[in-house]
Structure formats: structure tokens, C-alpha cells
Chain A
Amino acid sequence: MAWNFDDNRPIYSQLVEILETKIVSGEYQPGAKLPSVRELAITAAVNPNTMQRAFSELEREGLVNTNRTSGRTVTEDPNMLRQVRSQLARGHVDYFFKKMKELGYTNQEITSLANEAASKEDNQ
């Protein structure tokens, strides 16, 4: 199944987010070997050069290490993983607040709605 992308942003930055999410959620375990650029490009149905660019970004961040013999592996540094995880979480929260404000909610109303949703989840 091809991956889904938003129309209004470059594909490579969305690939970076998707791969980061797969790594911090444990779909790709710390220290695990990643599929090749070509394999992932075919799975995602994206251009291989675009996938390569996303991988370079993950390498630059230090989330992915390249080793001449074993290919690309996920970092085993727990601090690194925590940092990327909270970065992603903050992005989701910012987006949520932006959307709620578009609907005319105040910060207080948003927080109380979030609390309500959280207690509903707890009771399920």
C-alpha cells in the first residue's frame, strides 16, 4: 500500500516525519537494519531520489547511522529517540491548537475538552 501525502508540502519532509514516527514508535527498533532506499521507495511509491534525500536528513539528525558493511541502522541512543519523539509530539499539539483556534476555541476551552477526552479514554 502506497503511503499518503499532503498536497501542500514537499514529499521529502513528509517522508522524514513518517520515518521518524516509525522509528520512535518502535516499528523500526533501535539498532535494527533499515530497508534499502530503493525498497522503501517502492513500498511508499515515491521517487527513489526523494527517499534518498529523506534518509540523508535522518542521517544528518543522527537518528540513522550508515555503516559500510551493515547498511543503515536505527540509532541506539535513547536520548536521541526521546528528543525526536517529543519534537514530533510538539508538532502534533501545535497543529491541534491551530485547528481548534480556527474553530474559535480559547486555550482554556481547548484544555478542558482535552481533559474530557482523556478521562473518556481512561474509562474505556
Chain B
Amino acid sequence: MENIVELRGVTKSYNGRSNAVDHIDLDIPGGRIIGLLGPNGSGKTTIIKMITGLLTPTSGSIMIGNCKPGPATKAHIAYLSEHSALNPNRRIKDALYLFQDFYADFSMDRALTMLENLSIDPNATVKTLSKGTKEKVNLILVMSRIADLYILDEPIAGVDPAARDYILKTILTNYQERSSILLSTHLISDVENILDDVIFIKEGKILTQTTVENIRESQGKSVDQYFREVFVC
């Protein structure tokens, strides 16, 4: 299948000295769920921010379809950032209206259904919500878009195991078959069963890019166990 995103020789240096991301080549094909895995500070979020257009590469090229990251590509990429998109003083409903105004591919029906499934009241004020509920609402906003690519930066970090299961199911239920999901996490054992591919990032470089089944077959261990060996401290 055609690639949704292509990175060629992408480097990002924040202070002109060390490279946070170092000459990365990366293809994201359609129809895959891909885990971006690496220790803290390995460059995961920097890669994500360059694909979403929040950071500009120091060198190299990023192509999304035939475009460089910018307003046009933001219309096709649904991005769950590590920061909340919610205004604490407004109601959840206001965030839904905001997303509806901003994104032509936002489905209000989907968002309301997901909120209802989780018994979250759309009229609740954001600041009254628990940390876990806020995370769920942020994910619902992102997964309510009909996008080509969903980029989820640490989607399950702050929620309990039952909510994690629901979030993973939400991801599986709502993504389109031809679209792809790129998700970064350090909670590998929780997500590895839903992944097609994994990308291991170490010190700004891609160490491995392979399938989950390939790791299990060739190493006789889970991705989580393999990760612990590769990144042993």
C-alpha cells in the first residue's frame, strides 16, 4: 500500500550541538498500527512533532502524501498530544464544538456515542474531571475524526487498567481500515497485541523496525521482554 508519510534523512538539533533526531528514514504505510517505542528522551515526541508540523526539521524532508507538513496536512492527521486540548473552565461540549469547527472530518455523533459509552456527561466542566477522564475525553476528540493518520503520543499513560482496555478497544473500533495509527508509549505489554509493527528508537536513531509477530517468532519472547533486553540500563 502507498505510504501515508515518508521521512528522508530527517535530523533535528535543538541547540546546534547534539541531534535529538539523527538522520532518520521512516515510511508509514496505510492500514497499519505502529508502535513508536523507546526510552525517555530517545526522540519519539520530536519525531511526532515534526510529522505534525509543530517542529521543523533541521535537515531532511518529510512528505505527507504530496505535501510538506502544514495546514493542509493537519486536515488529514488526527493528533493526540501529550498536552491536553481542553480548556479547564469550559464544558466538554464546548471542546466538541471547537473540534467540529476546526476539523471538517470530525464526527459529532461518534464523539457523543463514545462519551455515552463511558458515562461521561458532555455538560461537565473540564476542571471537575479526574485525570483519567480528561485523558479519555482527549482521546475521544481525536478518534472522532475520520483521518488518514492518527498519531497518539502516550495515549494510555495516566489511566487505570480497565480504562486502558476500553481505550485500546476505542482505538480498534474507530480507526478506518485504510488509515494508520502511530502510537508512542512506554507501556509496551499493554499495547503490543494491537500493533502490526514496532519501531525502536534509541538516541535519536531507528534501531529496529519490524513486525510484532516477527519479534515473537525469531526471539521467542514478547516485544516487552525484547525491549527490556535491548534497552537494558
Chains A and B form a bound pair: yes
Q: Is B3 an interface residue (CB 8 A)?
A: no
B216-A10 in contact (CB<8A): yes
Chain B 14-49 interface residues, beta-carbon cutoff 8 Å to A: 31-33
Chain A 1-38 interface residues, beta-carbon cutoff 8 Å to B: 2, 5, 7-12, 38
A8-B172 in contact (CB<8A): no
Q: Which residues of B contact A113 (CB under 8 A)?
A: none
Which of A40-48, A56-64, A103-111 sits within the interface? A40-48
Q: Which residues of A contact B220 (CB under 8 A)?
A: 8-9
Q: Is A50 an interface residue (CB 8 A)?
A: yes
For B33, give its contact among A8, A38, A47 (CB under 8 Å). A47
B194-A47 in contact (CB<8A): yes
Contact bitstring B206-224, A, C-beta under 8 A = 1, else 0 = 0000001100110011101
B172-A11 in contact (CB<8A): no
Q: Which residues of A contact B194 (CB under 8 A)?
A: 45-47
A45-B168 in contact (CB<8A): yes
For B195, give its contact among A8, A9, A47 (CB under 8 Å). A47
Q: Is B87 an interface residue (CB 8 A)?
A: no
Q: Is B116 an interface residue (CB 8 A)?
A: no
Q: Is A49 an interface residue (CB 8 A)?
A: yes
Q: Which residues of B contact A47 (CB under 8 A)?
A: 33, 193-196, 212
Contact count band on A: 10 to 19
Given contacts A2-B165, A41-B172, A47-B196, contact A8 B213 (CB under 8 A): no
Q: In whole angstroms, what is the CA distance A5 to B216 when docked? A: 12
Q: In whole angstroms, what is the CA distance A46 to B225 when docked? A: 18
For A50, give its contact among B213, B222, B224 (CB under 8 Å). B213
Q: Which residues of A contact B31 (CB under 8 A)?
A: 49
Q: Which residues of B contact A38 (CB under 8 A)?
A: 172
Q: Is B169 an interface residue (CB 8 A)?
A: yes
Q: In whole angstroms, what is the CA distance A97 to B169 when docked? A: 38
| Residue from B32, B169, B193, B217 whose CB has the most chain A CB atoms within 10 Å | B193
How far in angstroms is the closest Cβ of chain A from B185?
15
Q: Which residues of B contact A9 (CB under 8 A)?
A: 216, 220
Pairs of residues from A and B, 4 with the lowest C-beta to C-beta distance, nearest first: A7-B222, A10-B216, A10-B213, A46-B193
Interface residues of A (CB under 8 A from B): 2, 5, 7-12, 38, 41-42, 45-50
Question: Can you list 23 A-B contacts with CB-CB less than 8 angstroms, sorted by A residue number?
Answer: A2-B165, A5-B193, A7-B216, A7-B221, A7-B222, A7-B224, A8-B216, A8-B220, A8-B221, A10-B216, A41-B172, A42-B169, A42-B172, A45-B165, A45-B168, A45-B193, A45-B194, A46-B193, A47-B33, A47-B195, A48-B172, A50-B212, A50-B213
